[in-house]
Every structure is written in structure tokens, then in C-alpha cells.
Amino acid sequence: MTETILANATLILPDEVIRGMLRMTDGRIAAIDTGGAVPKGALDCEGDLVMPGLIELHTDNLERHIQPRPKVHWPHQAAILAHDGELASVGITTVFDALRVGSVISGGKTNYGEYARALASEILDLRAKGALKISHFLHLRAEICSETLVAEMAKFGPQDRIGIVSLMDHTPGERQFRDISKLKDYVCGKHGLSDEGFADHVASQRALRDRLGALHEVTAVAESRRYGAVLASHDDTTAAQVAVSAGHGAHFAEFPTTTEAASACRAHGIRVMMGAPNLIRGGSHSGNVAAAELAEAGLLDILSSDYVPSSLLSAGLLLGDLWGDMARGIATVTAAPADATGLSDRGRLAPDARADVIRVARIAEVGALRGAWVQGRRVA
């Protein structure tokens, strides 16, 4: 029997915050008691916050490790291990690694090729070898404006730990880049396109959507069911788009771009996820609705670190301050993402729950990790 006791802690429980002690035994939470006592052999948390490990549903962080600079490609195993270690160091104990499926290979500067199947196999192999510190699932981002989506998705199956499939429609002038000037800044900055080159890119993407979009949507929805994954929409902008997402059976909406879309999600029973960087920065870098605006309107359910892993913890604390309810704020990065993906064994401090637990010191408005345990084993 292995046992760890975190005592004299500020415990963030599902509906309240108390001073108490948490006991982890053989990978599960064995008991929760109140009071500031520190039994012999226990770790004195000195009043630090103790909460469930964070659950990340959508992160681009692995891509940054694989390609640390433009045109620089890093060995995949080293990149996966570095990504895994970084997430553990900021309190994330469960991650859904986002991998794009669907490529454009017909020619041009904005082409991008297939990589998801091979990288997924490498992640799963390292997991099988016990090399990873935290719990990894896969999140397939289905690119609607692509040429190879059907063939790429066929290479995956129920054995691949795919927890999420998201519908990614990047048609120029729609959704995230409804403001075409924002898309131009992004694409031309990334690929060095001229005005003429950008116009050709827009035309080719729109043509792909017209030719294959309907087939790709149907395929992605059907494949998510075959995998046993939950479906997510992405960058819904209008109530009409949300209605389509609801018809497909979306469980949650990634980064709706307007209050209209977020309100429509709530009406359809679709959880709303926003980016923690948006909340911390005070707005969207793409000019879309601010996460804080949705939070104040009661329209925000889940946070994602998106492209800054360390943002997830601090954003959960920030929401706790904003709402005057720390348990509610922390739930957006623990219980709510667990519920959205059917992970009933984690996301809450409760007896018999999986012992994914973190200790956090509050420093001004941010959180500093002081310890992380996955199934009761210390990983950071």
C-alpha cells in the first residue's frame, strides 16, 4: 500500500473551500477530513490550495515542441516527453493532445501534410511503456477545408484513446476569421504571401469547402461515433451555426466567437469552452468575444490553455476571484472538462476518485505549483 497525506491544506472541494487534510492510498483519494492538524508522516501544506489535477481538452503545445522554430523539426519522442513534462509542471494531469487530421497536398505555399496517425502512434507507444507522467488522450481536429480528411480518419479506431473529435471549419471569411483582414495578417505573416497569393489561397479554401465540406462534416461526425469520442464544434459564430452543431450532437463548443453563439450554445445544452489566454490577456487576439465578457454573463463553462499551458491554472483562479466562488472557478479547469468528456473518475476531490491532485501556492493573481500527483504518484 502506498499512501500520501496532504495536511493543513486549503481544499477546493466541488462546492466549497475548507481547511483540511486529504489522504491518497493506492492511486485513489481515500479520505478527506477537516481541520489544520498535521499527522506524523503527512506533508504540511501550510495553507496552500489543494485541488484536483487540471484537465486540458485542447492544446497546441505539442506542435510547439515538434517544431520549435519555423522549418526546424525536433525528434518526436523527445518532443512528446518534453510536452508531457511541461504539462505536469503547471498542474495539468490529464490532456487531450490535439492533432490535425485532413491535409492540403495539391500545391502552393500554404500546403500542409499528414502527420496525425504517426504521431498518435508514438504518443500511445510511450504511454504503453510507462514513459509519460500524466494521462494522455487524443483529440482529432477534423479540418473541413482539406483534401485528405476521409482517408486520414479511416486510419484511427476505438483502440486509439480518441476522446474528442472537433469540427474545424476554417473557410476564409467565416467563424474565427470572419474579419478577412485578420486572416490575411495571419496567413501572409506565416507564409509570406503577396496580395495575389493571399487571394488565391482564399479562393482555393472556399472551393474546397464547396466541393468537400458536406462530405467531411458527415464523415467526421460518423467517425467520432465509431471511435467512441465526444464531438465538439469550433469557432461557432452565429445561432444558425450552433443549431447545426447541436444537430450533429456536439457536447461542447470550442471558442465561440460571439455572445450570440455562446447564448445559443446554452439554449441547446452545449457547454462553452473559452481560452485561458483570452481571459488573462483581457481579450481575443483574433478580435472575437472576450472570455471575461462571457464569464460575467454566465456563459462560460470550461477553460482551455490553448497555446499557453501555464495559463490554465491562473485562469481558473482568476475566474474564482471574478465570480467570488473559488470552487466554481476551479471547476472550469477540473470537473467541467471531465464531465464534458465522460471522465467520471477524476476532476473532483472526493473519496474514491482518482488521486490526480495538485498543490498550489497563490502568488498575487497567479498560481505557483508546489506539487502534482497522478494516481497518487508524485510527478512534479
Residues forming beta bridges with residue 21, ordered by sequence position: 33
C-alpha cell at 174: 467565416
Q: Is 230 exposed, middle or buried (0-12, 13-18, 19+ CB in 10 A)?
A: buried
Determine contact, residues 285/312, Cβ cutoff 8 Å. no
Q: What is the torsional sign of CA 176, 334, 88, 19?
A: positive
**Residue pair 55/49 in contact by the 8 Å Cβ criterion:** no
Angle of the 195-227 helix axis to the 180-191 helix axis, nearest 10 = 100
For 187-235, give the DSSP string. HHHHH---HHHHHHHHHHHHHHHHHHHHHHHHHHHHHHHHHT-EEEEES
Rounded CA-CA distance 34/7 in Å is 9
What integer best gives the mean pLDDT of the chain? 92
> Could you tell me the residue ranges of all domains in the chain?
1-52+346-380, 54-345
Give the integer Cα–Cα distance in Å for 55 and 94. Answer: 5
Per-residue confidence in pLDDT tens, the chain, 380 aa: 689 999 999 999 999 999 999 999 999 999 999 999 999 999 999 999 999 999 999 999 999 999 999 889 999 999 999 999 999 999 999 999 999 999 988 866 557 789 999 999 999 999 999 999 999 999 999 999 899 999 999 999 999 999 999 999 866 656 666 666 666 566 665 656 677 766 776 777 777 888 888 999 999 999 999 999 999 999 999 999 999 999 999 999 999 999 999 999 999 999 999 999 999 999 887 778 999 999 999 999 999 999 999 999 999 999 999 999 999 999 999 999 999 999 999 999 999 999 999 999 999 889 999 999 999 999 99
Q: Is the pTM of this model over 0.85?
A: yes
Pure H helices in 96-194: 116-128, 149-153, 180-191
Specify the pLDDT at position 205. Answer: 75
Name the CATH code of domain 1-52+346-380 (choices 1.10.760.10, 2.30.40.10, 2.40.30.30, 3.40.50.720). Answer: 2.30.40.10
User: What is the DSSP code (8-state) at residue 53?
Assistant: P
Long-range contacts of the stretch 252-255 (C-beta < 8 A, 24+): 252/57, 252/301, 252/302, 252/340, 254/57, 254/58, 254/166, 254/304, 255/176, 255/288, 255/304, 255/306
Give the cell for residue 129. 511503456
Report the alpha-carbon distance of residue 99 to residue 121 in Å, rounded. 12
CA-based nearest residue to 297, from 285, 289, 305: 289
Label the pairing between strands 54-59 and 92-101.
parallel
Helix, strand, or coil here: 45? Answer: coil
pLDDT at 57: 98
Using a CB cutoff of 8 Å and minimum separation of 24, what contacts does 63-71 make? 64/307, 66/119
Residue 107, C-alpha cell as written in the block:
500545391
At the fourth CATH level, which superfamily is domain 54-345?
A: Metal-dependent hydrolases (3.20.20.140)
